[in-house]
Structure formats: structure tokens, C-alpha cells
Structure 1
Amino acid sequence: MKNKTSQYTFFILVSSLAVWLDIFTKALASKYLMSGYVYKLIPNIIEFTYVKNRGASFGILQNQMIFFYVITAAVMGMISYTIYKLPSEQKYFPFYLCILFIFSGASGNLIDRVVNGYVVDFIYFKPINFPVFNMADIYITVSVFFLFILAVFIYKEDDMAFISSKKGSDANTKSASERIEPFYEPDRNKKSKK
């Protein structure tokens, strides 16, 4: 990203599109699958079936709505802060995309919880009897996986120093060794007084 304005604009546009796609696919699932109909996209592999999920991703923590609201608000707040602090350098673009899609997934499922009191899940991966999920779950799961890859194999510890830096988001962050002030050394060229 060239500057913070384009960074924010891209974030708003892409996350809005991703949330819209999540809501649209859930609306289709509600319209065509609520009756109990199962659409076999790839027989014995991927099926579309309607499920009301009152828990978190993949059905865990059922009926804990207040908990979900608090956690979602905290995650979205942390991501917003990180976007604000994120340098505009090209090397951070993969990290930027990951947190963008985590934000989108959290937003999509939050909208469902607020509007319906549950999340619509409809994608079923049959070979391993995987819990039914939705587009928002895909955004979050894939993004967290790639964030792990980035953290372990790509970014160094100093690359993430911008998050805790007190300076502005575009300020150049220095490594720990560069931030240490040199100790005072007396001028050895001067003669000592006797």
C-alpha cells in the first residue's frame, strides 16, 4: 500500500465485499436449504445443508452470546488498532490481508448473531464428518493458518515491533540493538589532569 489512506480504503472495500458474500451465501442457504433439502455439490465430499449454529466456529461453545459479543468486539478492536499502526511497506501486505479477512469473518458472524440470534452454517465436508461451517468461518480459519505460517517462517520479531511502538505507524522501527544508547566514553585524546 502506498499510504494509509489507500490502506484504509482497500480495507473497507474488500472487507465489505467479503461480508456481503458471506451474508449473501447464508441468505441463499436459508432460502433453499431450510426445508431440510441437501444439495450435493460434489457427492460424498461437499454438501450444502442448513444448520442453525448458536455457538462459535464449527459449533463449539453453544448459547454463549454475551461471550461471543465481547470476544468479537475485542478482536475487531485489536485488528482496527493493528491496521492503524501497520506500516505501508509491501512486505506487510500478506499480514494485512490475513487480518482483513479475520475482521470480515468476525463481522459476518456477528451480524448473524445480532440479527438472528444464531449463525447460519451450510457447508459440510463429508469425508471426515467435519462440522458444518460457512464463508465467514473459511475466512477466519484460512487467515489464521496463513498468519501462523507468516509468524513462523516469514516475519522476524523486529518486523512486528510496530504494534508496540509509541511512534506513528509509518515511523521506521529500529532493532533492539539500534535503540540502545551508547554509554559515555571519555575523550582519550585529552590529557588527564594531575
Structure 2
Amino acid sequence: MCGRFVDPNLRGTEFEHSELRIDPIPRRFNVKPTQDVLLFAKPELVAYYARWWLVPSWYKGELKEWKATTFNARIEEAAQKPTFRAVWRHGRCLIPAGAYYEWTGETGAKQPHLFSAAGNEETLWFAGLASRWNELLTCTILTRAANADVEAIHHRMPVILNAEERDAWLGGTEETDLLGAETRLRHHPVARFGMKDDGPELIEPAE
């Protein structure tokens, strides 16, 4: 799964342009579900901010009453799930991240680990789905079975796309079994931190 991540550093990249017309959020190192996150969607990779916890457009209740855990969606099942079925066809997006966290150990003494790109590209591009509920744009991060770089820490991982896979995902491919399977990641333990903690020190290797 993916329950916390680090905002991407897009300065100096093709995505840092004034014409995106987005209000900058100071970079965060402990992004949590229900917070606003940056995503890119077609056409032409337009940038939006969306609430990270998807609410389907057909939901008629109050936001606080939506109890389903929908900040992640399993890519193996999303196309068939009523919550995600429509946005699987029409709401595909990319959610950039600088890194993400997973935990090991027992409740009360869990050890966080930071996962980041092992290659030259710093940004991790998560496959996402976006849903507009009333006037609120919401999103979810897709997950898949962990590959060899992740499985020692957790059995699931975000679907992290390379450039070719990003085009295929946004283009509507239904051949999703291997998306993100070859992603190369590195990880290291970091100091334990709380829900409200933030700052670059969170990603430093634990002593």
C-alpha cells in the first residue's frame, strides 16, 4: 500500500511552468490521506490539486460519512470495483512523489522505511485515478504486488510508471499486469515520526 509520501521536487523540470496555474504548496515530507496532492491528467498533462482519498461521483452522502478506505486501489481489481470502475475509464492520472514510506514491526514500535528511486530520475510517478465529487476533485494511488526491491519490507507497493508506461496508462491501456513491475527502488530506515511531524529530517537515514 502507500499511506504516506514525500512531495516531489519539480523545480528545474519540464513541469515547473507558470502556465500550470496552480498555487504552490511548500514541499511536505509527510503527506497524508485527505490532504491535497498534485496530479497531472490529460489532455497535455494539466496540473491539478486533488484530495487524496477518492470519493466516487455517484456518492450522495456527506464527505465525512464516506468511510471506505479509498486512498489506495488495487490495480488488479479497480476496473471491476463499483467505486473505481468509471474513473478507470475516464479518470486516469499521474501523481508525482519524491519518495514514499512503509513500516515494519509491531504496533507501537513500527520502524518507518523510506523508498526512493534507484535510477537517475528523482521523481516517482504513481498511477492514479481521479474522481470529481460535487465540486471536489479527489484521487487514489494504485498499488500492485511488491517486486524484489520492496517485498522484504511490504507485500504491496505503489504502481510506479516509467516514461513509456506513463503514456500507456494515460492512453487507456488494459494491459496493466506488468505496469510498475520493473521499477527500481532503494530504501533505508528513518527515525520514527508522528502524524504532525514534517521537514527534510524525516527522510534522513536513521542512526
Using structure 2 for the length normalisation, give the TM-score.
0.26
Structure (1/2) with the larger helix percentage: 1
Larger Rg: 1
